[in-house]
Structure 1
């Protein structure tokens, strides 16, 4: 690649999504090793990473100099990441937030590569954000029905990796101790055991009974699908490492022909029909599996089906790479 090609800067090497992101970047040749910078907070003990058969050092986030010739991907949340976002934006870099640092800020453009990538050209700021993984998957699953879509209720079973790398490590440790007949330490941030369990909510509840992640999913979906679509959601956490499954109850504007709905879903971008999809089926893949399509017994205008995908590889890493590719090539 030419030296005039912008650098790609990834903030948050110690993140559950980092490995699949680096893997896809290398598979697709999106950036050369010479134009890749890896950052982590100063006190993190992270070793150098291998990319395209080269060792890439992990630099201190606090000491790094951002420039206008960079595309910055934030995999990390928190004060250090927020400070990096502000500094990078002031320097003129493009910033892609994947970790919710800009949640609630409508001046930041929400971009899904298959639904509204053209929004980059008219972005108010050089700061973009990805939808949360659950919203990214559900938006893809619903997009073929968008012309008739009126209401959707979502029951999302998220994996432990949706809670971050520390939760994955915690569940792995709990599983090993349980198999050894040892007592299990409970993560105080979650307050419940992750291994061999299913949580009605992994977060504190708000006055409405929802949690923050549910409201984030609803907010992102409405920004992608439009304010005319009524959305409600419940997120459970299942005791699996990777792969998310959503049961969707969808109300349409008129009585439906189930075979027509099946044909629309079958032709949707990155959608693949399956009779009984499971999270295991989706892990490692780059499509959303759609199955158990049926007409509701409650209404002739309502259909029910499930959607399954790899929450890290497909709905975060792959979407991120596609947006990064557009920024590096066109902006």
Structure 2
């Protein structure tokens, strides 16, 4: 007996990616249901070699569904995740709504898979922010070995992190530059084509943006509350994959070679680090891949026990859809949930 899985937000960037990854990884599902809002009813989405017609979330009964992958935005999740969880279906939520709830585990399987077991309080497990997910995959093995004290990170985040409309805006603005059409920012506060925007999400009272705060708070919850982290998050004119320039201060002495060796063996990490032109990863190459790529590993002599490095990952995959499916795999592999159909039989 396999599991019954629902994907909410199945017509969006991440929802479609979730369906692809469930099929790619051969997730043990007997049935997969695509759900979306009423305006998307009947829209067809791909699942492996099948085509699914989307059903309406509001009319769907979750009582016989085992796992719900939720990627429909914060407002939908806030309203629906508790209702779905109350019907005995485990929600793996991709929004920011539940991440900092003390009764909801915030999980990156390569980093803190054991935290998954805490799902029983609300039947909800949270996926971290896309920029946090790839960061902690790279930080975890180094923290275990040398003890991280402080992290300074600057992100270079692709437009897909802001949804399909944002990708369309980059495309149309880029075209407009070449044909000298007027450029109108809609999704972003300023033009994104051939430009950088040092604002992701809203500003907070202290001058940081909500995205920067998320990275700080989520890293502490997932990895270690004692780690100090400061972030500057920047939107760049790249379609897919987020990049991060990271500077880390450790408690113990560490060389670049030691860091490189540890990261080469770490789950989810792929080190591409040759000190020559092109001997590093770029977002273009990371798009469509599962790994968190690490390049430019070097010692930073301006602080004691410092390492600098470059991290790139596909934000739609490891930053969202892949991480959610990996959480579902932890639930199944550790036998934390049983298929409802098997119980009924």
Q: TM-score range by the shorter chain?
A: over 0.9
Matched, 1:11 2:8: yes
Change (3 A) 1:44 1:255: same
| Counterpart position of 2:262 | 264
Matched, 1:135 2:139: no
Q: Give the 3-state SS of the residue equivalent to 2:235 in structure 1.
A: strand
Matched, 1:234 2:238: no
Provide the C-alpha distance between the structure 1 equivalents of 2:46 and 2:82, rounded to a whole number of angstroms: 29
| Counterpart position of 2:316 | 312
Q: Spell out, residue by residue over 1:132-169, the C-alpha distance to the aligned partner (whole angstroms, 9 max, x if none).
A: 11111110111111132111111111101111122112
Q: Give the 3-state SS of the residue equivalent to 1:265 in structure 2.
A: helix
Counting only pairs closer than 5 Å after superposition, residues 229-308 of structure 1 correspond to structure 2 as 229-275=227-273, 276-308=280-312
Name whichever of 279-288 and 235-244 sits farther off.
279-288
Provide the C-alpha distance between the structure 2 equivalents of 1:294 and 1:105, rounded to a whole number of angstroms: 36
Counting only pairs closer than 5 Å after superposition, residues 41-52 of structure 1 correspond to structure 2 as 41-44=37-40, 47-52=43-48
Cα RMSD for the two superposed structures: 1.8
Q: Give the 3-state SS of the residue equivalent to 2:153 in structure 1.
A: strand
Provide the C-alpha distance between the structure 1 equivalents of 2:35 and 2:332, rounded to a whole number of angstroms: 19
Q: Give the 3-state SS of the residue equivalent to 1:170 in structure 2.
A: helix
Q: CA deviation at 1:31?
A: 4.3
Matched, 1:191 2:175: no
| 8 Å CA contact 1:14, 1:46 repeated in 2 | no
Provide the C-alpha distance between the structure 2 equivalents of 1:90 and 1:45, rounded to a whole number of angstroms: 25
Gap runs ≥5 in structure 1 = none
Gap runs ≥5 in structure 2 = 274-279, 338-345
Provide the C-alpha distance between the structure 2 equivalents of 1:118 and 1:203, rounded to a whole number of angstroms: 30
Q: CA deviation at 1:78?
A: 4.1
Q: CA deviation at 1:300?
A: 3.5
| Counterpart position of 1:96 | 92
Provide the C-alpha distance between the structure 2 equivalents of 1:203 and 1:68, rounded to a whole number of angstroms: 37
| Counterpart position of 1:211 | 209
| Counterpart position of 1:153 | 152
State TM-score, norm by structure 1: 0.92
Q: CA deviation at 1:6?
A: 3.0
Q: Spell out, residue by residue over 1:143-202, the C-alpha distance to the aligned partner (whole angstroms, 9 max, x if none).
A: 111132111111111101111122112211222222222111211x53211222111113
Q: Spell out, residue by residue over 1:69-115, the C-alpha distance to the aligned partner (whole angstroms, 9 max, x if none).
A: 42111111143333221210121210111122224322111111112
Q: CA deviation at 1:18?
A: 2.2
Name whichever of 128-137 and 195-204 sits farther off.
195-204
| 8 Å CA contact 2:73, 2:95 repeated in 1 | yes
Q: Spell out, residue by residue over 1:214-257, the C-alpha distance to the aligned partner (whole angstroms, 9 max, x if none).
A: 11111111112111211111110111001111111100113323
State TM-score, norm by structure 2: 0.89
| Counterpart position of 1:325 | 329
Provide the C-alpha distance between the structure 2 equivalents of 1:287 and 1:265, rounded to a whole number of angstroms: 12
Provide the C-alpha distance between the structure 2 equivalents of 1:107 and 1:145, rounded to a whole number of angstroms: 28
Provide the C-alpha distance between the structure 2 equivalents of 1:54 and 1:262, rounded to a whole number of angstroms: 42
| Counterpart position of 1:173 | 172
Q: Give the 3-state SS of the residue equivalent to 2:297 in structure 1.
A: strand
Provide the C-alpha distance between the structure 2 equivalents of 1:239 and 1:288, rounded to a whole number of angstroms: 20
